[in-house]
Amino acid sequence: MSNTIPAEFQIKEQIHQQRYLLNGELRAWAGDSTTVYSTISSTEEYATTALGSIPDMGEKEALEALDAAQKAYNKGQGVWPTMHVKDRIECMEKFVKQMETKREEIVKLLMWEIGKSLPDSQKEFDRTVEYVYDTIEDYKQLDRDAAKFHKHDGVYAHIKRGPLGVVLCLGPYNYPLNETFALLIPAIIMGNTAIFKPAKHGVLLITPLLEAFQNSFPKGVINILFGRGRAVAAPIMQTGKVDILALIGNSKSANALQNQHPKSNRLRLVLGLEAKNPAIVLPDADMKLTINEVVAGTTSFNGQRCTALKIVYVHNDVSETFLKQLATSVDGLKFGNPWEDGVKLTPLPEPQKPEYIQELIDDAIAKGAKIINKKGGKRFDNYIWPAILYPVTKDMRVYQEEQFGPVIPVVSFQDIEEPLDDMADSNYGQQVSLFGKDVYALSPLIDALVNLVCRVNLNSSCQRGPDVYPFTGRKDSAQATLSVHDALRSFSIRTFVAFKDNDLNNETIENLLGAKLSNFVSTDYIL
């Protein structure tokens, strides 16, 4: 172990994950395992670091997990889907309190497994804990608002939200804790049961939470598998017994899984997919602010975010100034290991990613682009420096593909209709960053852009948070909406008890409320 790595961040023991959660039991795994490597080197001579191993599961375990989730739901009659809201909340509170004690372990694994900087790893953990508590509070308010009866045309209705059934939950590697839990937590708390497979990177960091999942929820409510998606997720989908596919990842994966469901019309989709979010820099943009925001938007976590700025449109009048300042700023960023002070660029978790980025750069150069910054394209064993490519044209791969890595394509424009037309023709429609001050120019632009994307960021880079705001997209970028508020609705359906206004029904309902035997027909107010 290199003595340049601070003691508190060193990997002193590998984690060999040999348990998985099935039907409330932490079962031992004796089958094949897959070694988990970090692209961060722990020696003076570069070499990947073995962090441990995970089970390499297959169809047998997948179908057992599906069976456990189905039995826990039990055609809507299970303990969990029929449980009172306040009791489900108590289970979730028990879980998140245990989760808070694992902060140090999980932050350390976020750094080693996916190369996320220490401040960003801490932020991901803290933001996730906050998300759980916010979800609990929003669910309480949802139940409070429903603790009443409506009357229309002589018919009373007691309207609440109910679960949908079994959820297959697949999270992403770039936010393996936060975005995964943004799916899993609302799915469970609404009364659904779940099968969860962690992402290909950021998988060991689930290990410290297995016992908390196991002892906080009734058996079968959450089942956690490890392995390749094709080996585990595909057999589950092919049964047609999944009610919700919750996935943050790539549209190709989502389509492939959806197509394997024999009755896809029954399948609720909650998807956060890829994007090609543009920045549009107008002639009157505040250049200092714009450069800061574009650098953050394109290079934060090395551009490995669906919300990253993946293409920059800059007006001809300011393109020269913009490119010069952008090049200086990008080349001034610090590269290093995640725990180093002030580090902005960190090792890429996917070993093949530097080569892929190199292919994009080579293709763009062959078709007329140039690397604007001096360090652009500089290679390391586990990294490639962000290359600012200009001028980028539509026939280049870097224009067409979501690069999901450190490369910055820049397109100049004279007429604002050019970027607007490109966005309209794009397969994606998540967000845009718009930089400018002239309200007469901004007003019609905003009115057009809100119909092309789902979030217009004025003089700021694209982002998901705060988590109380809607997070969604058009076209191939998303299906359903994720926010603290909206996710509870995405994983549930409105359902109600109705009755005509007559003496028999009124007396029956009064007796139901008085007896407090029904968890659904209840006007109890949760504090």
Mean pLDDT of 114-125: 98
DSSP for 330-349 reads: HHTSPB--TTSTT--B---S
- pLDDT, tens digit, 9 for 90 and up, residues 137-158: 999 999 999 999 999 999 999 9
- pLDDT, tens digit, 9 for 90 and up, residues 157-205: 999 999 999 999 999 999 999 999 999 999 999 999 999 999 999 999 9
pTM summary value: 0.96
Mean pLDDT of 364-376: 98
- pLDDT, tens digit, 9 for 90 and up, residues 121-134: 999 999 999 999 99
**Angle, to 10 degrees, between the axis of helix 178-189 and the axis of helix 85-100?**
150
Share of the chain above pLDDT 70, in %: 99
What the block records as the tokens of 162 is 């109910």
- pLDDT, tens digit, 9 for 90 and up, residues 283-334: 999 999 999 999 999 999 999 999 999 999 999 999 999 999 999 999 999 9
Confidence of residue 2 (pLDDT cuts 50, 70, 90): very low
Residue 440, number of CB atoms within 10 A of its CB: 6
- Least confident segment among 2-6, 65-69, 84-88, 198-202: 2-6
DSSP for 178-207 reads: HHHHHHHHHHHHTT-EEEEE--SSS-GGGG
pLDDT of residue 359: 98
pLDDT of residue 1: 35
Mean pLDDT of 391-395: 98
**Which has the closest alpha carbon to 67: 253, 188, 235, 318?**
235
Mean pLDDT of the chain: 97
Burial of 500 (0-12, 13-18, 19+ CB in 10 A): exposed
Mean pLDDT of 59-73: 98
What is the three-class DSSP state of 457? strand
What is the three-class DSSP state of 362? helix
Residue 450 clears pLDDT 60, i.e. is over it: yes
Instruction: Round to whole Å and give the CA distance between 464 and 469.
Output: 8
Residue 434 clears pLDDT 60, i.e. is over it: yes
pLDDT of residue 431: 98
Confidence of residue 6 (pLDDT cuts 50, 70, 90): very high
Mean pLDDT of 505-521: 95
What the block records as the tokens of 22 is 């099935």
Compute the Cα dihedral for 175, 178, 182, 187 and give only its sign: positive
Share of the chain above pLDDT 90, in %: 98
49 Cβ contact partners less than 8 Å away, ≥ 6 residues apart: 11, 37, 38, 40, 41, 42, 112
Residue 4 clears pLDDT 90, i.e. is over it: no
Contact of 373 with 408, CB cutoff 8 Å: no
